Amino acid sequence: MVKRILAMVFLWGVSLFWIYPANVSPSPYGINVHQVSNTVLQKVKSAGIKWIRTEAIWAAVEPQRNKYNWTNCDRVINYAQQNDLSVLLIIGYTPSWANRFRGINYPPDNVADWEKFVKTAVLRYKGKVKYWNIWNEPNVSDFFAQGKDVFVKKIFLPAAKVIRANDPEAFIVGPELAHLLSDGQEWYFWMKYILTEAGNYIDVVSHHMYINEGVYFMYELLEKGESFIPSVKQIIDETGNGAKPFWITETGWNTQDFSENMQGANYLEILQKRRRKNYPVKLFFYEIIDDPKAGILPWGVLRSNLTEKPAYTVYKDFIAGRYPDDGGDDEENPNKKCYAEQTATAGAVSQERLLANLRGLRRDLSVASPAGRELVKLYNNLNGEFLSLALADARVFLLGAELLSQANRMITDDRSGYLAEKPGPVLMDKIDRLIALLKKKPLSPAFQKFLAWAEKQAVILRQVPPDEYLDRHLPLEIKGLDK
């Protein structure tokens, strides 16, 4: 048993290293801003909110073919870049010239027109925007008037392929569905179809939830579902996307249907719940400021005259750490000092067995051998950096989850002679890719030292089976690594 546990030392350690791209914050806190003034954006910054969700509306940016107006988009994105705000950018909505005046909620007659706009946007903001939404709430007819098959074929896949081709380092966040149950808008049919048909192009699974019944019920719908209706987690898992990070990119309470104090109380409740569960990975409230137009509900945490509602103060104070953990009633909180537990619980699928194995691995390593104790000690020392790097980058988050899953399989695999087999090329390729990418990044001295050691171990592990590696190499190699 000890050797089987120690067989995971190298893979477990290497799987903790990630890339931290520019202009991407590991903070979980975001808000929807549309294209508000810089004065309002300053209020976002002052609150300590690190993520904004804004848009590049095709119909507004290119109102006539080949005639662009990027002024407002440029202003918001440039402000974000200059003030350390990370951007989630929505692209969508068809101009009248592209679909014979049928409306912004219909696809273009020629998909090439849409692809051209997406390419133009991606190249314009490459290096400034890393995370992209393709359309918004396509299961709502006001946003998209045709079915899910048309959306995937004419909107989502064309845009996703263009994004991938023109900025391989960008991330696609979707499918951005409204949590609706009405005929033709059923979120679960749409989500299952989109994740099945286009899930390979989605790096972060996202959803919108406005639940008047309260935060507790919201999490019930996310994790357990209701009568005859699956949970959001279930759909994500069934389509093979369970290891991907999950974001809620719209949620909130308007202050017409709720008092301002109740809006603030709901903000605090969901923030505390998210902190206890470390789920979702990121949370974007809707929205920063009330729209002054008649007939539009006041969703903002600022009134239209820029004065602050209680929810703004709650959000600001929570981010600043002025609300201690209230303990909550969750059955088992993840160990906030353990990167692996944080990563596992931040995914979109329950991973109790993986967590139990990882906790057992950490415990058993500490008593199994001097080499095991050294590795656990090193892990504890570098854990904060691991966690920040993982939460900052969705694609390597997924690659790391795959390595952790492989570690789990190795821990529980009881086949005779397993430890005499050399690691497979697919597994080693993933490790090599992480190491090569990390070598190009600025890292702490301790991180750099571990990376140099891990690169050396990868060469050895490729040549010998785990049994020989554990007996002849690991005890000597790891000694003093954390000094």
Instruction: Quote the pLDDT of residue 18.
Output: 34
| pLDDT the model gives residue 331 | 45
Instruction: Output the pLDDT for position 313.
Output: 96
pLDDT at 383: 67
Residue 112 burial (10 A CB sphere; 0-12, 13-18, 19+): exposed
Q: What are 334-385's pLDDT values in tens digits?
A: 555 555 666 555 554 445 556 666 666 665 555 555 566 666 667 666 766 6
pLDDT one-digit tens code per residue, 127-178:
999 999 999 999 999 999 999 999 999 999 999 999 999 999 999 999 999 9
Interior CA angle at 62 toward 61 and 63, to 5°?
105
pLDDT over 70, % of the chain: 71
pLDDT at 329 over 80: no
Angle 157-166/187-198 helices, nearest 10 degrees?
Answer: 40
- Which one is predicted more confidently, 410 or 143? 143
Percent of the chain with pLDDT over 90: 59
Is the pLDDT assigned to residue 52 strictly greater than 50? yes
Q: Any idea which fold 29-319 has?
A: TIM Barrel (3.20.20)
Residue 340 is predicted with a pLDDT of 63
Between 319 and 466, where is the model more confident? 319
Whole-Å CA distances, 382 to 16, 50, 223, 438: 10, 24, 31, 15
Residue 443: what pLDDT? Answer: 75
Residue range 176-202: average pLDDT? 97
pLDDT score of 214: 87
* The predicted structure's pLDDT at residue 236: 96
pLDDT at 7: 45
Predicted confidence (pLDDT) at residue 4 exceeds the cutoff of 50 = no
Please determine, for residue 430, whether its predicted confidence score (pLDDT) is greater than 60: yes
Confidence of residue 439 (pLDDT cuts 50, 70, 90): confident
Answer whether residue 269 shows pLDDT above 80. Answer: yes
- Name the residue with higher pLDDT: 482 or 446: 446
CA distances from 97 to 42, 63, 119, 152, 288 (A): 36, 8, 19, 22, 32
Opening angle at CA 345, ends 344 and 348, nearest 5: 90
Segment 260-267 mean pLDDT: 94
The domain locations on the chain are 2-16+352-478, 29-319
Instruction: Compare 223 and 445 and report the one with higher pLDDT.
Output: 223
Q: How many CA atoms lie within 13 A of 204 on its CB side?
A: 30
Asked whether the bond before 287 is cis by omega within 30 degrees of 0, the reply is yes
Burial class of 119 by CB neighbour count within 10 A (0 to 12, 13 to 18, 19+): middle
pLDDT in tens, 193-250: 999 999 999 999 999 999 988 899 999 999 999 888 999 999 999 999 998 999 999 9
Identity of residue 473: H
pLDDT for residue 333 is more than 70:
no
- Please give the average per-residue pLDDT across 186-198, as a whole number: 98
Enter the tokens of residue 62. Answer: 């290119």
Mean pLDDT of 292-298: 95
Cα distance between residue 159 and residue 119, in whole Å: 8
Pull the structure tokens for residue 342: 């944080």
Tally of CB atoms within 10 A around 192: 19
Q: Which residue has the higher pLDDT, 201 or 332?
A: 201
Joined together, the tokens standing for residue 447 give 């991180």
Tokens of 44: 């976002």
pLDDT of residue 452: 82
CB 36 within 8 A of CB 288: yes
The structure tokens 């048909």 sit at: 197
**How many angstroms separate the CA atoms of 50 and 88, rounded?**
11
> Tell me, what amino acid is at 302?
L
On average, the pLDDT of the chain sits at: 83
Lowest mean pLDDT among 10-14, 169-173, 188-192, 467-471: 10-14
What's the rounded Cα separation, in Å, for the pair 386 and 389?
5
| HEC profile of the chain | CHHHHHCCHHHHHHCCCCCCCCCCCCCCEEEECCCCCHHHHHHHHHCCCCEEEEEEEHHHHCCECCECCCHHHHHHHHHHHHCCCEEEEEEECCCHHHCCCCCCCCCCCCHHHHHHHHHHHHHHHCCCCCEEEECCCCCCCCCCCCCHHHHHHHHHHHHHHHHHHHCCCCEEEEEEEECCCCCCCCHHHHHHHHHHHHHHHCCEEEEECCCCCCHHHHHHHHHCCECCECCHHHHHHHCCCCCCEEEEEEECCCCCCCCHHHHHHHHHHHHHHHHHHCCCCEEEECCCECCCCCCCCCCCCECCCCCECHHHHHHHHHHCCCCCCCCCCCCCCCCCCCHHHHHHHHECCCCHHHHHHHHHHHHHHHHHCHHHHHHHHHHHHHHHHHHHHHHHCHHHHHHHHHHHHHHHHHHHCCCCCHHHCCCCHHHHHHHHHHHHHHCCCCCCHHHHHHHHHHHHHHHHHHHCCHHHHHHHCHHHHHCCCCC
Q: Which residues contact 177 (CB under 8 A, 6 or more apart)?
A: 137, 138, 139, 187, 190, 191, 194, 207, 208
45 pLDDT exceeds 80? yes
